[in-house]
Amino acid sequence: MSIIKDRALANINRLFKDTDTSQLSKLASKVSLSTQDITKLELDAIVNAANNSLLGGGGVDGAIHRAAGPDYSPNAEHLVADAKITKGYNLPSGHVIATVGPIAPPEQPEVLASCYNVVLNTGVYGFNKERAANVALTTTRQFLESNDGASVDQVVFCLFGPEDIELYRAVIQTPASNLPVKSNPTISLAG
């Protein structure tokens, strides 16, 4: 499965020339960090970190709804820690995967990890960014190292700005054994 067509995105092992990539495992070759507009990326699928109604709100959720056009309307369902895939409609990406992230339960990182297993969110819902980066990258690493992850060519984290890029860089350089998530990803992104 080709998950990315835009090769202009910086690959992690190019970002970390000084880093021992053997420690980064498959994360180094399959994960990219970007601050580009997610609605402009030409990918197999993008993730919409939606609100409970799935009707579009502010932030990235609203931008995806506007860019996808009036035909984009995932059915309203409660999707916390679950996901739903639809066509991309007017987006350059072929599909949109909608998920609803948890609203800041800092004592329950496994709930956010579950969302990353079926996709992701932190944004306006208030989950601590550093903890969320740990959960996101650990869960992504575990998935990519699993049999299901073998079919994924590239995962792109669209971040808000340079501060977020630096945060993810710091987390990536943390040895895997120090990352605080205990989860067993089971979702397959293969089509």
pLDDT digits (tens, 9 = 90+) for 27-48: 667 888 888 899 999 889 998 8
CATH number of residue 22's parent domain: 3.40.220.10
CB 42 within 8 A of CB 92: yes
Q: Does residue 128 fall inside a structural domain?
A: yes
Q: Does residue 188 fall inside a structural domain?
A: no
- Length of the chain equals 191
Q: Does residue 125 fall inside a structural domain?
A: yes
Give pairs for 77-83: CB < 8 Å, separation 24+. 78/52, 79/50, 79/52, 79/54, 80/52, 80/111, 80/115, 81/111, 81/114, 81/115, 81/117, 81/118, 82/118, 83/118, 83/119, 83/187
Residue that the structure tokens 């980066």 belong to: 133
Q: How many domains does the chain divide into? A: 1
- Measured distance CA(46)–CA(108) in Å, rounded: 25
Helix (H, G, I), strand (E, B) or coil at 11: strand
pTM beyond 0.75, yes or no: no
pLDDT digits (tens, 9 = 90+) for 117-176: 544 444 545 567 788 888 788 888 888 888 888 888 888 888 888 888 888 888 877 665
CB 27 within 8 A of CB 174: no
pLDDT digits (tens, 9 = 90+) for 69-128: 988 877 545 555 567 888 999 999 999 888 776 555 555 666 656 655 544 444 545 567
Q: Does residue 121 fall inside a structural domain?
A: yes
Q: Does residue 4 fall inside a structural domain?
A: no
Q: Does residue 64 fall inside a structural domain?
A: yes
Rounded to 5°, angle at Cα 157 from 156 and 162: 125
| Token pair in block for residue 125 | 């819902």
Q: Does residue 127 fall inside a structural domain?
A: yes
Helix (H, G, I), strand (E, B) or coil at 27: helix
The residue segments making up the domain with residue 129 are 10-178
Q: Does residue 190 fall inside a structural domain?
A: no
